[in-house]
Chains A and B, each alone.
Chain A
C-alpha cells in the first residue's frame, strides 16, 4: 500500500525559499508521476507542478518562475522548492500520486501547513 508523507518547515520568512519533501513508502517513486498541490486557508486547491523520476517536469504557468521540483530516488523522495515567498504562499501543501497519463490524483498525503511570516 503506497503512502505519502509531506515534511518540512512550518514557518518561512517572506522573500525566502519554501522547501518541502514528500516521502513515498510502499512502492518505488520511479513507477509514477507525482505532483504538488496547495490550498491557501479558506480557498480552493491549486496545482503547482508535476514530476517524473526521469527528470520530466512541468509547472503551473502562474508559478513557473518560482517553482522547482526534484527527486532523490535513493531516498524515495521528491521535493518542492518555492522561491521568493510572500504571505500569499501560506497554505496547506499536499503531495499526490497521479494515475498514469490522467492528471488525476488517486493518492494524497495528509498535507503540511506552511505559514509565511516574519
Chain B
C-alpha cells in the first residue's frame, strides 16, 4: 500500500492561490469520496481542513477548498497568507476500514 503522491513542495506569494495535487488509484482516491486534507505546522498537532473531498469542518476558512477528478484530488489555498506556510497532507479511504496518507507537501509563502 503505497502513499498517495503529492508534490514535495509548492510556493506562492501572499494573496495568490496555489493548488496541491494528491494522486492515487481507483482503489483509493478514485474509488471513494472520502478524501481529506490536513495542515501541519511542525511541532503542533495536524488540523483537518477538508473532509469528504470538499467539505469544511466547523471553523475552517473557506480559503481552503477541495476537489477531485478521477484518481487525483486537489487542495486549493486562495488568498495566501504567511500563516499558511506549513506541511499539507491528503488522505483517502482505501476500503475495508483502512486509509492511507499522501507523502506531504511543503507550502512556502514567498
A contact set with B: CB distance below 8 Å: 37, 44-47, 50, 58-62, 94, 99, 102-106, 108-111
| Cβ contacts under 8 Å, B47 to chain A | 108
Interface presence of B1 (CB below 8 A): yes
Partner pick for B46 among A50, A60, A94, CB 8 A cutoff: A94
By beta carbon, the residue of chain A nearest B87 is A44
Interface presence of B86 (CB below 8 A): no
| Cβ contacts under 8 Å, B18 to chain A | none
Partner pick for B51 among A59, A94, A99, CB 8 A cutoff: A99
A102-B52, A104-B34, A108-B46 in contact; A44/B98 too (CB < 8 A)?
A: no
Name the segment of B68-76, B77-85, B100-108 touching the other chain.
B100-108
> How many chain B residues have a CB neighbour from A under 8 Å?
26
Interface presence of B36 (CB below 8 A): yes
Interface of A is mostly: loop
By beta carbon, the residue of chain A nearest B51 is A104
| Cβ contacts under 8 Å, A110 to chain B | 44-45
| Cβ contacts under 8 Å, A50 to chain B | 97
**Could you pull out 13 A-B pairs where Cβ atoms are within 8 angstroms?**
A45-B91, A47-B101, A59-B98, A102-B36, A102-B51, A103-B93, A104-B34, A104-B36, A106-B57, A108-B46, A109-B45, A110-B44, A110-B45
Assess the B99–A47 pair: CB atoms within 8 A: yes
**How many residue pairs between the two chains, A and B, have CB atoms under 8 Å in the bound complex?**
66
Complex Cα spacing A37 to B98, Å = 12
| Most chain B CB within a 10 A radius of its CB, from A59, A61, A105 | A105
Partner pick for B101 among A44, A58, A108, A109, CB 8 A cutoff: A44
Assess the A104–B91 pair: CB atoms within 8 A: yes
| Cβ contacts under 8 Å, B97 to chain A | 50, 58, 103
Assess the A58–B51 pair: CB atoms within 8 A: no
| Cβ contacts under 8 Å, A45 to chain B | 38, 40, 46, 89, 91, 101, 104
Complex Cα spacing A47 to B34, Å = 15
Assess the A102–B34 pair: CB atoms within 8 A: yes
